[in-house]
Amino acid sequence: MPVMGTFEWLTMGLIATVPYMLLIILVQHVLGYYLSKKYDPHFFKSPYFTEGEVAVYSSWPLSLIRYATYIVFAGFPWLVQKRRFKGHASPYLPGAYLKLGCQLWLICTVLGILSVPTLFWLMWLQPVTA
């Protein structure tokens, strides 16, 4: 195994974000699929989604936006209650474990998103080699 410097470790970190983000998307699919069965009959229609949104969010890959909306609603309802799901609260919220799963997903996703520019920035700070 060659000796790796800071730059190489940062590069490996950047490489690791790819499987990490793919895993995030996989979990998003699982959670979103489960939640959409529960929420679609109530929410996936006017006035919560426009007719155009219903058409484009019905199939992959844009269905991921619908899944993300449901996950955010289940994990941090206040984030989407101000706009899309105005006035909707307790009757549709999930159990404690599912809520925790949705919260973890959102936190991990935000960390993943922030990691790439951070890694780029740290790599940029490394000294230029000849």
Partner 1 sequence: MLPKQSLNTDTILYRVQPGDSLNKIINNYYGKVPLQKRNDIIATIQADNPKLKNPDRIQANQLLQIDIPPQYCATPRAQKLTPLLNIDKALLKPLQQQYQVASPKEKRTISLLTPMMIGTGAATTMIDKTFQTNTPLVAKIAELYNEYKENKITKGQYDSGRKALLTKLKTNLGPINALLNGKKSPNEVIRISRTKGSVPTRNITQQVAKMSKLSRVASGGGFVLSIAGLGIACNQIANTSDVQVKNEIFVESVGGFAGGLIYATSATLVLAIMATPVGWVGALIIGVGGGLAGIGAGYGAKTLYTTRGNKIDLTKITKVNQLCR
For partner 1, the binding residues (CB under 8 A) are 1-2, 4-5, 7-8, 11-12, 14-15, 17-18, 21-22, 24-25, 37-38, 40-41, 44-45, 49-56, 58-62, 64-65, 68-69, 71-72, 79-80, 83-84, 106, 109-110, 112-113, 116, 120, 123-124, 126-129
- By C-beta, is 41 or 97 nearer to partner 1? 41
Q: What tokens does 121 get?
A: 């920035």
What's the min distance (Å) between Cβ of 91 and partner 1? 9
What's the min distance (Å) between Cβ of 8 and partner 1? 5
The alpha-helical segments, DSSP class H, found in 1-130 are 6-43, 51-56, 63-75, 77-81, 96-125
Q: Residue 14 burial (CB < 10 Å; 0-12/13-18/19+)?
A: middle
Which of 44, 32, 33, 23 minimizes the C-alpha distance to 109? 23
- By C-beta, is 104 or 120 nearer to partner 1? 120
